[in-house]
Homo-oligomer: A and B are copies of this chain.
Amino acid sequence: MKNVAILGSTGAIGRNALDVIIRNKTAFRAVALAAGSNSRLLEEQVRAFRPEIVSLERKEDAQAFREKIKRISVRVTYGPEGAEEIGGYGNSDIVVSAITGISGLRPTLAAVRAGKKVALANKESMVVAGSVLRKEARISGAQIIPVDSEHSGVFQCLAKEDRRNIKTVTLTASGGPFFKTPLHRLKTKTLEEALAHPRWKMGKKVTVDSATLMNKGLELIEAKWLFDLDPGQLRILIHPQSIVHALVEMRDGSVLAQLSPTDMKIPIQYALTYPERREAMVPSLDLGQVRSLEFYPVDERRYPLIRLAYQALEEGESVPVALNAANEAAVAAFLAGKIHFSDIHKVIRRAMDGHRKNKIRGLEDIFAVDRQMRERTIQTLQKRL
């Protein structure tokens, strides 16, 4: 029996992780849950899973929450410290890191420092702090298993293959809801349309990132750190069916690929059970039924942010931190209805134009660049409005 802590238990990944735990009751127990503001769902989760500790983002939510569940024995904490406590919680074996954005970094780092097995869905922490997380994992012995379907795919293809045999690694992207939209009509795409992802049910921020392809850009940077690859080895292919998640090309021309039905439960379960596998929770993939798997090169006119992502991948240091911050701020503005879809990349580009690369020596540098770029992006936004 493994004890599981979930950072972001009320989000899309967190809910799926709890589904996996229900289905594998004899193997896993949820002992610690960190949520954001969805007290109602956290209450259901507490009643169903009886964890030892939970946290909410705000103090007042936590206080109200204690009242509501006072007959249940569970510690209720709150704020960034609460999430961090869940990340490093002593009684867990596995930590599912699924808080979106840079807010996930400190709790993830707490899990890594505590030497946990970390099922990592929070790609932003690898993007901004890949070198820190890798170093800390080496020291503590923490194992980082990817939860993103693409990285889970790469992880499985690499298996025990000698790294010197790896030539390229390709992550696939569905292309998002606007893959076939005529370019001149991207401007008028609404929030609702951007959130209607054709394949994956995910949180709002990552769904918008899929529409701009920034999600894949961040994933390239994540892959570099997860698998110790050179930027030049990383590729993206648009694959609208989202069935092939990753392709690893060997030096001899052979390519290994990982496929699965489009359901996050598969990589989540794999991350929890690794190195074992357990019975599927979804029907088998039937390619005879799917019929056709399509692949397209990335059109940079449709996805202008991808060039910035490749630059950040190449340059490293503060550049991925800045790009991630500008992206989080711009997407938040889009989600708040303040800018148009096609403004997202313009705002990010303008903010990035003002960024000068500098060395990252530790967390403080990361948070400083992050704060500064968020402010700059918001200023850029305000000038446009």
Contact = CB atoms under 8 A, between A and B. Distances in A.
Contact of A277 (B160, B165, B284, B285): B165
Most interface-central of A237, A249, A252 (chain B CB within 10 A): A252
Given A159-B159, A292-B294, A277 B251 contact: yes
Say what secondary structure dominates the interface of chain A: mixed
A345 to B, nearest CB: 22
A288 interface: yes
A382 interface: no
Contacts of A283: 253
A251 to B, nearest CB: 5
A156 interface: yes
Count of this chain's copies in the oligomeric assembly: 2
Interface in A101-160: 152, 156-157, 159-160
Given A165-B277, A291-B294, A292-B294, A285 B160 contact: no
Contacts of A159: 159-161
Interface of A: 152, 156-157, 159-162, 165, 167-168, 170, 237, 244, 247, 249-261, 263, 266-267, 269-270, 273, 276-285, 287-288, 290-297
25 contacts: A152-B254, A159-B159, A162-B276, A162-B277, A168-B284, A247-B287, A249-B284, A250-B277, A252-B270, A252-B277, A252-B278, A253-B263, A253-B284, A253-B285, A254-B266, A254-B267, A255-B259, A255-B285, A256-B256, A256-B258, A288-B297, A291-B294, A292-B292, A293-B293, A293-B295
